[in-house]
Chains A and B, each alone.
Chain A
Amino acid sequence: MDAFLKTGKLGKSAGRSSESAVSGVAGSQKESKKKSWPVPWVEKYRPRNIDDVVQQEEVVAVLGKILTGADLPNLLFYGPPGTGKTSTILAAARQLFGDNYKERILELNASDERGISVIREKVKKFSQQTASATLPDGRPCPPFKLIILDEADAMTVAAQSALRRTMEKETKSTRFCLLCNYLSRIIPPITSRCSKFRFKPLKDDLILQRLEKICSEEGVRFESGVLKSLIKACEGDLRRAITSLQSCHRLKGKDHVLTIVDVEELSGLVPLERIEELFTACQTGNYDKVDEVVEKMSRNGLPAAKVLDQFFHFVLESGELTDAQKAKIFQKISECNFRLMDGGSEYLQLMDLGTTIMLSVA
């Protein structure tokens, strides 16, 4: 037990202490060693039952049925990060198996345990343990165990194929829950064996509610509009929003009133003025002006990927540009972004974008 739990997910927060609620035995040992460490907010405010889960009604409905006695199929959750995939399955497990749910689940992180043999061995070992149909407190529960494979899309094709066989073999005593960001990276034989649920990006107002709740409980003071800009920066990723919030809080000290600038700084957001500045420079139709602004950006260490990203939103919402112009600019943005990810130089890619805009708007 101990051994495999160590390989489980210890904590999801950005640089936070490890005694997350997720890792039972191992976590509690560490807790005794470093008591003083606060629990990361992400773990602290993780939903305890499935009704707490933000937004994902479809999944919640299905899981609700299972809780009332229906059979549990193999599950495949996919969707962007921070939409509650892990939270949902953990909350469901907690409700299914009671407080000792840790004994009934095996959490494997695919990006670490890539090998076929690892999957086979661990899964085999775990599924051989018998699971009774009642809980220690006498409540009935489904007679199986749950294996949660996080980041399943990072598994190699070979490992996924091996998993397919295992899934069939252990179906009597074990259920699988695969979590991934991209469904397309899971091989079809697996997807066909699972019930698939798409996790939609969270709506801004729902995130806002959560954040407000956390802030009031933690006593974080903030200027108006801060949470809004935080949500915008995190693009529907609740985990990231909470993490950033905590980082700000920690970095600036308890008494600090959070400002929009703080949030921008810590979420890696490029200030809007910079984006506007670049656009204005492009509008002048002067290459040297564009050059100057781009230089300034790179001196300030603003990551080009973020600039491209935000520039996209800026252009999208811009009222000054025609659709044709926008289309042209978007094409360039996507091209530049691809090259940038591929290893292209930040300066050159931004300049390329800048000059393209310059020609299309001037």
Chain B
Amino acid sequence: MSMWVDKYRPRSLDELDYHKDMAQNLKHLVKSPDFPHLLVYGPSGAGKKTRIAAILRELYGPGADRVRIQRQAFDTPSKKKIEITTYSSNYHIEVNPSEVGFQDRVVVQELIKHVAETHPLDQHPFKVIVLQEVDRLSKDAQDALRRTMEKYISSCRLILCALSTSRVTPAIQSRCLPLRVAAPSKNQIVKVLQIVSKKEGIIMPLELADRISDSADGNLRRAILMLESCRAEKYPFVDKQPIVEPDWEKYLRETAFIIVQEQSPQRLLLVRERLYELLCHCIPADLIFRGLLKELVKNCDNQLKAEVCAEAARCQWRSTRGSKTIIHIEEFVAKFMAIYKRFIEQAMMADDFDD
């Protein structure tokens, strides 16, 4: 039994609940004689995957839905074996090359070569390769990708999926047709929630849908997951039904609170424990930074906010390159503590002065 997110995912371009004009354009595109490489980007939970699946279906019919999951192995030049999970139908194959870290170049090259050299079934002139998280590909891999894109264009098309095009090289961007999938608006989320609950046969007060979509941050997947966990928590829904949110977010907020509460070396050690805890739960560092920043600035004035923000931006950037994320998060916390403590002390002095 699958979760609602998967269960009620629209299957075709016509079923999509929002961005309907884009769906219309995509239909044009699929019908046109030459189908370009696509670069689909947008925030997480906006529906990129759903749209890609719908495009595939539009191209190949229901056959594209029959997906096999395989582990495929590649040899690196140094004879090391790397394995990657592929999701493939007769017509397409989907991988996330960043799964294998800095060996992603091999995957990009070998996989495309492999796919391009086997001829597509039926009358379809080409196969489709879906690459996830292209913005996380190494530079090497992106170079290789750009090359293979041209080389094998006669027998395959690429659909690239990314959160943002910022880190996709211009060379790739200029070879793709960009499709921006914006996050659904609040009303669109409410609408989808209503559709889901109707299909599931549950009664959902509008007020709840409102609140869920408020705290979903424009992330539809999150909204539907929230709805489902609310349903599991307590049903029938009651007034002021509590909205379930992920534990780590709460934990992060508590951590921020602990930081604001007291600034001392001892406190920093306590925070360190909590940061380890978060990292152990596979929470990515950039979300920790973001969450901390959002909570911490609440207690600051404008000047201070800017200062803290600059620190966060710097530490987070370093953390992406460093190997020990904890050091960088801790640096941010230490910096904040120092800044904040000074701020409080000044404020107190000013108070004394006023008196």
Contact = CB atoms under 8 A, between A and B. Distances in A.
Contacts of A28: none
Given A250-B36, A301-B46, A348-B316, A13 B290 contact: no
A301 B183 contact: yes
B164 A301 contact: yes
A251 B183 contact: no
Interface in B17-36: 25, 28-29, 32-36
B307 to A, nearest CB: 8
Given A7-B151, A250-B32, A358-B306, A15 B313 contact: no
Contact of B306 (A7, A34, A359): A359
B156 to A, nearest CB: 11
The contact size tier of chain B is 35 or more
A301 B43 contact: yes
A301 B33 contact: no
A306 to B, nearest CB: 7
Nearest to B26: A251
Contacts of A347: 290
Contacts of A112: 144, 147-148, 151
A174 interface: no
B313 A240 contact: no
A251 B26 CA distance: 7
Given A112-B151, A251-B29, A346-B164, A352 B313 contact: yes
Interface stretch (B174-182, B241-249, B250-258, B346-354): B174-182
A316 interface: no
Interface in A236-276: 237, 239-240, 243, 247, 250-253, 265-268
Nearest to B35: A15
The contact size tier of chain A is 35 or more
A339 B320 CA distance: 10
Given A10-B151, A11-B153, A251-B177, A303 B164 contact: yes
B264 to A, nearest CB: 26
A9 to B, nearest CB: 6
Contacts of A286: 302
Nearest to B303: A359
A10 B150 contact: yes
A47 interface: no
Contact of A299 (B151, B218, B305): B218
Nearest to B297: A287
A362 B302 CA distance: 11
Contact of A111 (B32, B146, B182): B146
A355 B29 contact: no
Interface of B: 25, 28-29, 32-38, 41-43, 46, 125, 143-144, 146-151, 153-154, 157-158, 163-167, 170-171, 173-178, 180-183, 217-218, 286, 289-290, 293-294, 297, 302-303, 305-306, 309-310, 312-314, 316-317, 320-321
Interface of A: 6-7, 9-18, 30, 33-34, 36-38, 81-82, 109, 111-112, 154, 237, 239-240, 243, 247, 250-253, 265-268, 285-287, 291, 298-306, 336, 339-349, 351-352, 355-356, 358-359, 362
11 contacts: A16-B36, A37-B34, A81-B170, A112-B148, A250-B29, A266-B178, A267-B178, A301-B43, A304-B166, A339-B314, A351-B309
